[in-house]
Amino acid sequence: MSAVWWPEARTGELVAYLDDQELARLIAVTEVAEAGAGDFLLHKGSPSRSVLLVEDGQIEIIDETLGETIVLGRVGPGGVVGEVGFLDGQPRTHHVRAGTACRVRRLTREGLLALAQADPQLFAKVSIALASLVARRFRNALEELDPLRAFAASLGDPEDGAEGAEEAEPAAEARRGVARDDGADDGPIQYDEIEDPILDQALDVLRELARRPGKDLAGV
């Protein structure tokens, strides 16, 4: 696909289309940052102002939604992290930390936009590389969701039988957090209090997907 635009001159997710002179000009508008193992480079919910190009070492994209630290993906030299927030300006979706001592280059949005007038061809090449990267990771994300889609399809239509619907309703209310009126508890039911095989299966699928090493899902 890359040959449709320009032939690849080197390896690297954001620099593959660049010749030596163009790479040097891109490097000139980036900022260097170094971090030790365990240091955080990006924080979930923080403003998105830059995209990270990994020069040396390895960085990790992590998630803590399920109550434990899960590494969603690892990115080494030549890789890029943070392109989603970089493009849409929305807050970061995950934490990013250094898995090892690492050196990265930050390309800010201002730095990229400055190239639009100063170096239009370089701006075009980097923009196309960003778009290609987002498209590839989107396709990979769809593949990662296949097991969850298959599980959802296996549940069938809740309207298939009235008896099944009646049996499912109490569990459905519990999952929605509906308070019980039997005086036992005035608050919503917690997930770990529900004895529901379907819910247990769903949570197992979600946990398995979360623990599975991501396929190039470094978007953030």
- Of the pLDDT bands very low, low, confident and very high (cuts 50, 70, 90), residue 142 is confident
Position 78 scores a pLDDT of 95
- Of the pLDDT bands very low, low, confident and very high (cuts 50, 70, 90), residue 5 is confident
What are phi and psi for residue 134, nearest 5 degrees?
Answer: -65, -40
Position 121 scores a pLDDT of 94
Contact at 8 Å (CB) between 56 and 105?
A: no
Q: What does DSSP assign to residue 47? A: -
Percentage with pLDDT > 70 across the chain: 65
Other Cβ atoms within 10 Å of 214 Cβ, number: 20
Position 156 scores a pLDDT of 58
Position 191 scores a pLDDT of 45
Cα(69)–Cα(99) distance, integer angstroms: 13
- Of the pLDDT bands very low, low, confident and very high (cuts 50, 70, 90), residue 212 is low
- Of the pLDDT bands very low, low, confident and very high (cuts 50, 70, 90), residue 175 is very low
What is the average pLDDT score of the chain?
79
Domains identified in the chain and CATH numbers: 2-145 (2.60.120.10), 146-210 (no CATH)
137 pLDDT higher than 80: yes
Q: Which residue has the tokens 């001592």?
A: 101
Position 204 scores a pLDDT of 67
User: Which tens digits make up the pLDDT trace of 59-109?
Assistant: 999 988 777 888 989 999 999 999 999 999 999 999 999 999 999 999 999
Position 192 scores a pLDDT of 52
Cα(48)–Cα(90) distance, integer angstroms: 6
- Residue with the bigger pLDDT between 97 and 145: it is 97
User: Which tens digits make up the pLDDT trace of 104-128?
Assistant: 999 999 999 999 999 999 999 999 9
Cα(209)–Cα(147) distance, integer angstroms: 8
Position 2 scores a pLDDT of 47
25 pLDDT higher than 80: yes
Strand-pair partners of 40: 97
